[in-house]
């Protein structure tokens, strides 16, 4: 059995805790994701899947519970250590691409590598390789405004994988795209995940896409089932 890349154990998250209008978002959510495994998370809007991904990605902290990344318990660690783990081990893709508008596609992929201490020449080579893999190498010198929605999201995917993370977290990565473009982006995502052997947790409303992943879990009543 592959060693777990991500373990989330009995996560609880409340907003306005202890008040009359307390909102219980996560109420004991647990999940183990093994190396190379792609897990779909299905949940209706407002059920807490974005909160779940933010906690799994060390962008937020639970009220109780643990997040273990590649065997290291991240619970309670200093923010500097959590930031290093996010930068080195986790890639994020959101529903909206969040590319930096003043930079080209290539530069958007190079910048996170430079922040990670990678030499510029190596970072550019990595960007070129990733853009080629998702079929938009010819768009490397285009800024986001000159790219289609599907091209922008493929650049965002390349940026997420630029630092060779262990784990990809994607929150409705095809949610803003038409069905044909969504299929293109999803195929590119799955090809990259399979080629690199990383693990992925992908939140989606699309049951057809979820069925093509290794496993599907549902966020129901604050728990993963």
Average pLDDT, the chain: 89
Answer yes or no: is pLDDT of 47 > 80: no
For 89, the token pair is: 């081990």
197 CB-near residues (< 8 Å, 6+ apart): 35, 36
How sure is the predictor about 105, in pLDDT bands with cuts at 50, 70 and 90? very high
Answer yes or no: is pLDDT of 30 > 90: yes
Q: In this predicted structure, what is the pLDDT of residue 9?
A: 93
Answer yes or no: is pLDDT of 1 > 60: no
Reported as type and span, the H/E element at residue 27 is strand 23-34
pTM: 0.88
Q: What is the mean pLDDT of residues 105-115?
A: 94
**Overall number of domains in the chain:** 1
- What's the domain range around 215? 4-224
Q: In this predicted structure, what is the pLDDT of residue 40?
A: 94
Return the CATH number at 81.
3.40.50.300
Q: What is the b/e burial string over 82-102, where b = at least 16 CB atoms within 10 angstroms of the residue's CB?
A: beebbeebbbbbbbebebeee
Q: What is the mean pLDDT of residues 85-101?
A: 87
The β-bridge relationship of strands 90-93 and 167-171 is: parallel
The larger pLDDT score, comparing residue 81 to residue 174, is at 81
Answer yes or no: is pLDDT of 144 > 60: yes
Could you give phi then psi for residue 167, rounded to 5 degrees? -135, 135
pLDDT tens digits, 14-24: 887 666 677 88
CA distance 2 to 121: 34
Answer yes or no: is pLDDT of 213 > 90: yes
> Which of 10-14, 18-22, 106-110 comes out lowest in average pLDDT?
18-22
Q: What is the mean pLDDT of residues 118-134?
A: 94
The larger pLDDT score, comparing residue 6 to residue 189, is at 6
For 186, the token pair is: 């999803």
Give percent of the chain above pLDDT 90: 51
38 contacts 4 by C-beta, under 8 angstroms: no
């Amino acid at each position: 059995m592959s060693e777990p890349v991500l373990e989330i154990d009995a996560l609880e998250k409340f907003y306005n805790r202890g008040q009359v209008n307390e909102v219980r978002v996560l109420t004991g959510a647990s999940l183990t994701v093994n190396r190379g495994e792609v897990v779909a998370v299905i949940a209706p809007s407002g059920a807490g899947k974005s909160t779940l991904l933010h906690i799994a990605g060390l962008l937020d902290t639970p009220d109780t519970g643990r997040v273990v990344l590649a065997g290291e318990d991240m619970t309670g660690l200093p923010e500097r250590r959590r930031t290093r783990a996010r930068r080195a081990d986790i890639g994020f893709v959101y529903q909206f691409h969040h590319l930096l508008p003043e930079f080209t596609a290539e530069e958007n992929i190079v910048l996170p590598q430079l922040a990670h201490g990678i030499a510029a020449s190596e970072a550019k080579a990595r960007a070129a390789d990733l853009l080629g893999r998702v079929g938009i190498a010819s768009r490397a010198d285009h800024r986001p405004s000159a790219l289609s929605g599907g091209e922008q999201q493929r650049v965002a995917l390349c940026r997420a994988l630029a630092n060779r993370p262990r784990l990809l977290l994607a929150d409705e990565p095809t949610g803003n795209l038409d069905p044909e473009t969504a299929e293109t982006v999803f195929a590119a995502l799955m090809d990259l995940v399979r080629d690199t052997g990383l693990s992925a947790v992908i939140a989606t409303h699309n049951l057809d896409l979820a069925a093509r992943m290794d496993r599907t879990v549902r966020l129901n009543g604050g728990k993963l089932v």
